[in-house]
Structure 1
């Protein structure tokens, strides 16, 4: 009899431990909403002054499967202080610029699988696809002036526009300090089709005698495919509800 009881207790202990193990919070919370940031590893302190920031939403379908939506935006602007080099009878320098502005917006939709590796650490992997648009502008005005012969002021502007279609297999690790909060880091392999439009124009205005103003405009289109490994696609945090 004692042998039988001991055997039953031995069988019951693993079941009791399993029952006390933390349940996946996905069975309780169907939604996750959070923020992401995409740091650049190359030139970390120089190139991360204007990070792409994003919103992340997940809809839990089962305890270990979820649909996800992401919206990512970026904006940066740099204005250069003007300067002029002057000498007797001569002036040369920027009137404005060179100034640079850049902004972009991307949207993604994907499917994600999840599994806990320990009590608070988990693994997420899946695939997402998205589209995006980016615009970059560089502009300046430069003067070369001569007291006797007059001057020429050249204004330049270059605009680049990119339309992007992308697919990203991804894998990430998350840490769950509480039942609602998740902190995570994610890596991805991005496969992109990029259509670019480039336009540049330059206008020179003369005050020199017998010099006519000049105008130049150039345009070009390019299409290309790219494959990029992103060791850190983004870092972020979500809140479950």
Structure 2
């Protein structure tokens, strides 16, 4: 089910604090922004800037100390653990730096895993599976196990798995971090094509200016705050923006 047009995900004054007292770490410090339906957004920032924390809270994998996350008009803080799990299962797809494939399963079995966990029959997804295998270019590798696939092929399987149930929102955490430049470029093109074809709201955390350059919009985080954002930036312009922020003490 597609989310209504407009803002797919909205965050309001998000704060995340780890620990207590003098050793407490403020990972997010009053983040507010929106992610329009069908838009591809990259989140950039130095290590410790809060970008992965933000992504995990957007996906309901972590809870904020305060603030709100609204997905399709629903405030995640008002959902029970069961309903939050269903929200993630029905509306979200996750792609991580580490592929998290089951080593004893074939490529197609790994792709079908979310449906099987949800108690659905694999036969229901026969057409969707073929569509995704074609999209990620693995039709001829569908019976191969992860140890028989390259790193790029494993990430393609992970992307197809994230897309199986046609999620409204795709959350990607450093999806090219373990890949060489050429393979990483292919994965970025795949994410971009998927976002366009299925009109998914795609939110990607990355430290790579080339990766961020594929996005419609780039949000820059520093010390848990949004310090800048822009649309239509090239990789060179992104690098220049990062240098400017670093020189201003915000990198």
TM-score scaled by structure 2?
Answer: 0.19
Higher relative contact order (CA 8 A, sep 6+): 2
Structure whose CA Rg is larger: 1
Q: Which has the higher strand share?
A: 1
Q: Which has the higher helix share?
A: 2
